[in-house]
Structure 1
Amino acid sequence: GVTLCPTPTSGLRCVRTYDTRTAGNNTLARPLDTTVATLLTPMPLPNKFTSGDGLNTGTFLWNPPTAIRGPAIAARIDHNFNANNSIFGRYLWSDYNTLKGDPLNGRPQLYPDSPAFGEVFRRTSNLALSYRRVISPRVVNEFTAGYARFGFLFTQGEANPAWPNVPPFFFTGIDVPYLNTPRTARWVTTPQLLDNLSVVRGAHVFRGGINMRYYRHVDQRGQPGGINVTPSVTFSGTTRPAFIGTTGNSGFTPAPGINATDATNLGGVINNLYGLPASVTQVFISNLAQDTFLPYKTGNNITLYAEKHNLDQYNFYFQDEWKVRPN
């Protein structure tokens, strides 16, 4: 095996160590943070060391689960009352849900015993009803009404049974098995009315119609503009150096003879284990009507950015098909 170096600055083919608990290194006698220990202890040990530096860091490799669930249903009816009157109807309904994690969007289940980073629920429905009336041998009218609706929900942090009480801590060099980002959801509904009239008169076929669409878009986001509305606490060794003589100055003695990269990594580990935050961020959604900010959380509900778009569209057309000559 590899032996330990006799001193921090001497020895060949040996490993130098740094004990954060000794009085010489931990001059303020800081204790290890119990909250951090509670979060890190359940994580599995690394099983792959070709990633990282092969000594201080490693990775955990496994195949996280995922599942796709439906169903999809379709129904259709065609009926002729007589030669001049007929109806048509069609209804489509489907679920296409991604469960047990969403690896396609980078939100799998990180470790075997941890909750998924999110699931996706998609629901689609579509209805069309049509009535065709032959008013005379030369006049035909067809009326169609219906709607299309699509909704999806990316649960993200809500896939965690502990939601919304998910820790806001994000450590340096450690992938945590939780996500505190709220949902992204969207529902788009479009009712539609169409009417087409055809009239044959001599060498002309006149056609006219109207198409009315009422677009309704409801959006709900926990990341408006890509900014998370939930708090985030980070422990960067660059933002907050842990060593004496630096801007952070958390009371730890610099390791002698260590290179700059390893010193930064060591500082990050110290910040992680001793719960020394480097940055705390929180975004609040504004209430423009009252010139104030909405609370981050009310009860067990996270305040989300919500908006609605309404668009009414009216299309008309008229055409004349004129057969100049019989052939």
Structure 2
Amino acid sequence: MDPVTKKPLPYQIIDPTSCPDPPYGSTCQAFPENIIQSIDPVATKVIPFIPAPNRPGSPNFVVNPRERRNDNQFSARIDHSFGPNDSIYGRYIFAQSVTFTTDQAYTTLPGFGDKIRYRGQNIALSWTHTLSPTILNEFRFGFSRNMDIGTCENCPRAKGFVESFGIANLKALSPEDEGFPYFGLSQGYFGIGDSNYRPVESNDMVEKYNDTLTITKGKHTIATGVDMQPYQSLRDQAPFSPHGQFDFGNLYSNFTVSDFLLGYPGSAGRSVAKRVNYHDGKFLNAFFQDDFRATPNLTINIGLRWEYHQLPTDRRDAGAALFPIPGMPLQTPGNAFLVVPGYAQADQLCQEPRFILDQGLSTERHLVMCSADMKKYGFTGRAARSLWFPDRFNWAPRLGIVWRPTSSDKLVLRAGYGLFFELSQFNGFHYGFNNPVQAPNQFVNFESGVTPPAKIDTAFLVGEIPPLSDSFLSINVSPYFKQPYVHEWTFNVESQLTNNMAVEVRYLGTAGRQMSHFHFFGNQAIPGLGDIQPRRLYPDFGFTAEVGSGANTSYNSLQLQLTRKMSNGLSILAGYTWAKSITDQEAEEGGYADGGAGLGQNDNDPKGDRGRGVDDARHRFTIGYIWELPFGQGKKWANGGGLLNGIVGGWKLTGSTSFQTGFPLTPSTSYDVANVGTGSWRPDRTCNGSLPPGQRTVERWFNAACFTDQFLLADLAAGHPRFGNSGRSILDGPGFQNWDFAFLKDFPFGERLRMQFRAEFFNAFNQAHFSDPVRDITDSTVGQIFGAGEPRDIQLALKFIW
């Protein structure tokens, strides 16, 4: 019953203990009048923390979280010339901030946000030395150090807080880890609980050494040099779930909230240990470039780079990776090892009974790889500690052509090609150091379509986690990780229309290969009946979230740009982009927040999830402008001096306006229709589902009737589970238009000093930038929009310039 309107809920609540196969069986009995007589003891303790409804209907609670942020910044710079041949430059920047936010929190409910403290320092130095009129050398040094400390808004909570919920074998790992266990609900309902990975302290340091030699000889300008970037990161963090996590996915009683009230989770997770990670590595680069002015109208640029991005090692030999044995069939016991850094550690762990299955039997197999096998399979040299095979053959050619068809500069044609290696997503690499050997995590997926096997307080049935069992959340980076790279090609036509106006037409295309990808549902089972574990590709291991590099992307766009230089007090820069982005699965950590477009349902067939990219905005128009208002001395109106000019003269209007179509959406279902345990499941699609733009409203953004899971549930009940046929990224989310502008006026004090007043308006017309609609077809509010972006923000500022 809706607690505000007192109207019945649109769900028939099933008693999961009344039948052998809820919620799909016809013999299941419903609770009379949807009233649950006995609430689970743990749920009873959670309910008082859930705020009361503040509006009727669904959703019945609306919150506008307020972000608070305090920033301080200091910078200093020096430029000095020692003579005609030598000059130096130096800069130092210090910044710190404290932010209270819900952006990274698990819920926007009051009291469950995050407090993020940041401190950063940056140093840049350069020395330019002229060796001769045609030879110049520049040496640059850079240093950056950043510290982030993240905690829950109300953490640490009182001593014994975690244990007070009465969940067997769940307690805080340390006093600073006392937090609220997370209880996640589907079907559009708020979850409640403190964030995972809290508290966390991260200290990152990067040094950069670069030397470039430039030689001018005839028609050639040659630049060659080397670049080295050592880096290190110290991370002291809580593991995946320091205070426990429970998700209720509508598996048993036909309603996610009643699953919670009855105490039947769909999955549960916890951690029992944590450790400090201290990893380091370096980037090595070398390059050669030749700008060849072939004719006065034709310039050719040829270049070649070599890049080696060394993957990190941990100074304490933390880390682990799942290594499939080459040539072994899938779904075969013993077809994979867990490899750990260092031969000594490997030989110690591989002989421990807890890492041996079927010990003493003919089927005995070691789950941790011993040093002899590490050497056999190529884990030698640095790879014996980094656990990733080096990828050194990274050559990146570059070619550019600039041609003026006439002697005039009014028409210029440009074409180019380049291969660019991307920096690895090192945020993902910390997963390799948060693994089931040194920082164990227990993650239990309960099977749907059966009598509930556990309640909240019995989800963790053993006192200590048996490492590497099927209840583990194993997180690793693939030993075969390759450096992602992108082919990029472009063709431009630039034309000067008038003395102060130019237009540019550009085609830009890219093709990404070996792109970094977070397999959020790695080692996923093949669809089938019964126990999930034997159907996994590597059945000795459980659900494995893996950072790999096998994704592909493509991007093609037509870009138009109009530039009007300042003339008669007005300058304009306007651009339009018509583009299309195609990718395989591409979700990184936090991929749930992109309309579901980044998550695939079948991790064993990423190409089957090929679709529009999460950033595929088909049309985008932007315009920026500066307008010196025509009032005051020397202007068209109020052309006078004195007090009148001091009030109305000297004002400028600056602004930017953006129009963009929406990012893609993917319909989903809460049911594990394929019985694979983990995944981002999709329904069947029976018709298009996309409404004409004129029919899209916040109450009905897409036609939810075009998506169903009834055939999937029928196939599951009949013993033929399968994935839904609905594609990824098939719908469009809300677009947006935004107007930001500012009024500026300078007040001079003599010749060198002036005070600038700024009145800035962000989202000036207070337009609603709607969030994505509910995509879960099992939710009664599917297709409806309940959130919006930031409202209008007005900022007044004074800036002293000397």
- Could you report, residue by residue, the CA deviation over 1:118-158 in whole angstroms, capped at 9, with x for unpaired residues? 244455443221223344556543322223455656x3647
> Which secondary structure state, in structure 2, belongs to the residue aligned with residue 311 of structure 1?
strand
Distance 1:39 1:132, change over 3 A: same
Does 2:188 align with 1:181?
A: no
**Structure 1 CA distance, aligned partners of 2:137 and 2:184?**
67
Aligned to 2:177: 164
Q: Give the aligned partner of residue 100 of structure 2.
A: 100
Q: Which amino acid in structure 2 is aligned with residue 85 of structure 1?
A: D
Asked if residue 213 in structure 1 is aligned to residue 217 in structure 2, the reply is: no
**Distance (Å, rounded) in 2 between the aligned partners of 1:277 and 1:158:** 28
Query: 2:207 aligns to what?
Result: 191
Which residue does 2:48 correspond to in 1? 41
**Contact persistence 1:151–1:187 (CA under 8 A):** yes
Tell me how far 1:77 sits from its aligned partner: 0.5
Q: Report the number of matched residues.
A: 248
Name which of 137, 140, 146 aligns with 1:144: 140
2: CA distance, partners of 1:324 / 1:19: 85
RCO higher in structure (CA 8 A, sep ≥6): 1
Matching residue of 1:311:
282
Name the aligned partner's letter for residue 160 of structure 1: C
> How far 1:115 moved relative to its partner?
3.6
Match of 1:282 in 2: 269
Please list the CA deviations of residues 62-118 of structure 1 after superposition, one character each: whole Å capped at 9, or x if unmatched.
322212332233221011233333221122333455x22234x4656512xx241x2
- Which amino acid in the other structure matches residue 181 of structure 2? P
Pair 121,214 (structure 1): closer, same or farther in 2 beyond 3 Å: same
- State how 1:24-103 maps to structure 2 within 5 Å: 33=41, 36-51=43-58, 59-95=60-96, 97=98, 99-103=99-103
2:128 is the counterpart of 1:132: yes
Call closer, same or farther: CA 1:108–1:323 in 2, change over 3 Å: same
Letter in structure 2 aligned against 1:210: G
Secondary structure of residue in 1 paired with 2:228: strand
Relative to 1, partners in 2 of residues 1:230 and 1:321: Cα closer, same or farther, differing over 3 Å? same
Aligned partner of 1:143: which letter?
A: F
Tell which deviates more after alignment, 228-237 or 35-44. 228-237
Shift in CA distance, 279/74, structure 1 to aligned 2, threshold 3 Å = same
**Corresponding residue for residue 20 of structure 1:** 37
1:219-277 Cα distance to aligned partner (Å, 9 max, x none): 859799xx6565334567744x6xxxxxxxxxxxxxxxxxxx5xx56853641xxxx45
* Inter-CA distance 93–165: structure 2 relative to 1 (3 Å threshold): same
Structure-2 separation of matches of 1:135 and 1:280? 68
Structure 2 CA distance for aligned equivalents of residues 121 and 134 of structure 1: 44
TM-score norm. by structure 1 comes to 0.56
CA contact (8 A) 2:177 2:242 kept: no
Question: For the residues of structure 1 that align with 2:54 and 2:290, how far apart are their CA atoms?
Answer: 71
Structure 1 contact 157–178 (Cα < 8 Å) conserved? no
Q: Which residue of 1 aligns with 2:573?
A: none
Inter-CA distance 2–85: structure 2 relative to 1 (3 Å threshold): closer
Cα distance in 2 for residues equivalent to 1:322 and 1:77: 35
Decide whether the 8 Å contact of 2:182 with 2:195 is kept in 1: no
Q: Is the CA contact (8 Å cut-off) linking 1:219 and 1:307 kept in structure 2?
A: yes
The SS at the match of 2:84 is coil
Cα pair 1:148 1:189 within 8 Å, conserved: yes
CA distance in 2, matches of 1:235, 1:138: 70
Counterpart in the other structure of 1:254 = none
Counterpart residue type for residue 206 of structure 2: T
8 A contact 1:196–1:207 mirrored in 2 = no
Distance 1:270 1:2 in 2: 19
Partner of 2:434: none
CA distance 1:101–1:160, change in 2 (3 Å): farther
Q: Match for 2:81: what amino acid? A: N
Matched with 1:268 is 259
Who wins on radius of gyration, i.e. which is larger? 1
Give distance in 1, aligned partners of 2:76 and 2:235.
31
Aligned residues with identical type, % of pairs: 17
- 2:396: which partner in 1? none
Q: 1:181: Cα distance to partner?
A: 0.9
Offset of 1:199 from its aligned partner? 5.7
Compared CA separation, residues 159 and 132, structure 1 to 2 (3 A) = farther
Does the aligned pair in 1 maintain the 2:179–2:243 contact within 8 Å? no
Q: Check 1:17–1:267 CA distance in 2 against 1; reply closer, same or farther (3 A cut).
A: closer
Asked if the contact 1:181/1:222 (under 8 Å) is kept, the reply is no
Q: Distance in 2 between matches of 1:237 and 1:138?
A: 73
Aligned residues of 2:248 and 2:267 also touching (Cα < 8 A): no
| 5+ long unaligned stretches in structure 1 | 4-14, 22-30, 53-58, 242-260, 285-295, 298-302
Q: Using the TM superposition, name which of 158-167 and 230-239 deviates more.
A: 230-239
| Distance of 1:198 and 1:236 partners within structure 2 | 62
For residue 90 of structure 1, what is the amino acid of its counterpart?
A: R
- SS of aligned partner of 2:284: strand
Q: Is the 8 A contact 2:205 2:231 kept in 1?
A: yes
Query: Secondary structure of the residue that 1:268 maps to in structure 2?
Result: helix
Please give the root-mean-square deviation of Cα atoms over the aligned residues, in Å: 4.6
CA distance in structure 2 between the partners assigned to 1:209 and 1:159 by the alignment:
54
Letter in 2 for 1:145: F
Q: 1:159 to 1:207 in 2, by over 3 A?
A: farther
- Partner Cα distance (1:205, 1:172) in 2: 65
